[in-house]
Amino acid sequence: MTTLITVRDLSVAFDGKEVVRDVSFSLRAGECLGIVGESGSGKSVTARSLLGLNGHGAQVTATTLDVGVDVLEATPEQLRHLRGSRIGYVLQDALVSLDPLRTVGTEIAEPLRAHRVPAAQRPARVQELLTSVSVPEPELRARQLPSELSGGLRQRALIAAGLALDPQVLIADEPTTALDVTVQAQVLELLEQNLSAGRAIILISHDLSVVERLADHVLVMHRGRVVEEGPTAQVLTSPQDPYTRRLLAAIPSASSRGDRLSDLPPATITAVPRERAPEAGPVLEAIGLGKSYRGPDGRTRPVVQDVSFTLDAGETLGIVGESGSGKSTTAWMALGLTPPSTGQVLLDGEAWTGIPERKRRSRRHRIAVVQQDPLSSFDPRWTVGRTIADSLSVGQGRRGGARGSAGSSGRERDRSARVAELLEAVGLDPAFAARHPLTMSGGQRQRAAIARAIATDPEVLVLDEPVSALDVSVQAQVLDLLGDLQSALGTAYLFISHDLGVIHHVSDRVLVMQGGQVVEHGTADQVLHAPQHPYTRQLVSTLPRRDLQEAS
């Protein structure tokens, strides 16, 4: 097979600081190279170097950087011709990567325009590309804005744009992150079809099960260097480097439940045990919840129908289902932020929905939320300390999350001291109180989001995809932290995730939703090991993850 890319001794530095060092690999037609590692390991910088896209401030050196042309010697015009025509690039977040003000068809046609494909030929080519990536009704979709498409359709449109000029190599940078398991399976099948057609793929992912399915060869990167490489099966089943072994051990699964995933020590949390009488009943109960919305055509469509569940103190209820199944709408109704069209929610046995907000306000501190992307849920102008302190005004919990010992439970503490205490409880230095969200890593921001959520000592914490955008090692740390907090505080978790491995690791019971309805409900082992409903069986069958932890 023809060698399409040869890289020898690639190093990249910014302002004199080396972020990639001595990376070497080659790629042949029809092969898939997987590059794995945690955030900041140099994966994306390595990929961007192949296209000369690291920016004017980058210092790039290599013995060989050959992608059909010598990238280090290529002119700007040669590099522009290279991008899209020889190497296509598919980014992670289609909603951010696609222009929200331009139609999907215009976006896909952009590389055609840049490479002087005649305007008369572009519409037909756009429809051909959308059809090739299995987008239904391609003519209609081409006229829609990205916001009008589902996550899976947006990601396919982004792949179509990457394939517009029929490149020999496709770089897929985290193409399935934050996609539900069924859409992820569809995207992976599409990438497999491109491999079968003779294209080469560089797959960048923190999901080792995705890499296992597609990649022929794997590079494991850590702090800018390749610490292990080899055939995929060899690396993922018989890892030699300690860092690779740590990555594999951090994968949540059925076998990891009850075990720590990271090598960090348990969080130090001093708290007064929560007292709750056995006859008190569930802390949260949903009874026949339904929600409908009126569309632009005037028709009313249900998005949640007759959903019921209970959540006991200290218990974790996992909710799974594909995009549009009603998971998040159910969560927002449980939070009292979206009024149900039918049914009701009870918090500690008392009405939580169907009452005025002023009557909820005194109990608002009892239920809190951690969202998927804390960067978008934080005010970027506020420091982390101000954000956490602001949540304290919602209501003063009995012990304020991780506050002091039993002897100090009746004392009010200075607000800045409380913020520092909460940051320490989630494993952050109190100095982070002065930081802004943009200056923090994804894992640090998620820890700060958890600190904000537990500030009012909630009885219920709603976690909506809290780890889906995190790499495997940071995900492990956050999941361990949530376990530590639950053990110390007795908080009940309503945990929403598309990752069945995560759900199995954290959940006592699992609720499976499809089309706004609950189709299966039971213990985590019952639902995920012996699914009864055809949809649940489909979810489990499309899961690319096998138990790599046991295999290693």
Kindly tell me the burial class for residue 74, based on how many C-beta atoms sit within 10 Å of its own C-beta (0-12, 13-18, 19 or more): middle
Are β-strands 58-61 and 3-14 bridged in parallel, bridged antiparallel, or unpaired?
antiparallel
Average pLDDT value for residue range 396-408? 42
The answer to whether the beta carbons of residues 527 and 521 sit under 8 Å apart is yes
The pLDDT assigned to 93 comes to 63
pTM: 0.81
Look over the chain and give the mean of its residue pLDDT values, rounded to a whole number.
87
Share of the chain above pLDDT 90, in %: 51
Higher-pLDDT residue of 55 and 118 is 118
The pLDDT assigned to 56 comes to 80
- Interior/surface letters 241-279, b for 16+ CB within 10 angstroms, e for the rest: eebbebbbbbbbbbebeeebbbeeeebebebbebeeeee
The answer to whether the beta carbons of residues 231 and 198 sit under 8 Å apart is no
| Separation of CA 111 from chain center | 28
Q: What's the pLDDT tens digit per position in 417-472? A: 889 989 988 888 999 999 998 888 777 888 899 999 998 889 999 999 888 778 88
Answer yes or no: is pLDDT of 301 > 80. Answer: yes
- Residue found under tokens 């000029």: 165
Q: What's the pLDDT tens digit per position in 193-235? A: 889 989 999 999 888 888 999 999 999 999 999 999 999 999 9
The pLDDT assigned to 415 comes to 81
Kindly tell me the burial class for residue 228, based on how many C-beta atoms sit within 10 Å of its own C-beta (0-12, 13-18, 19 or more): buried
The pLDDT assigned to 331 comes to 94
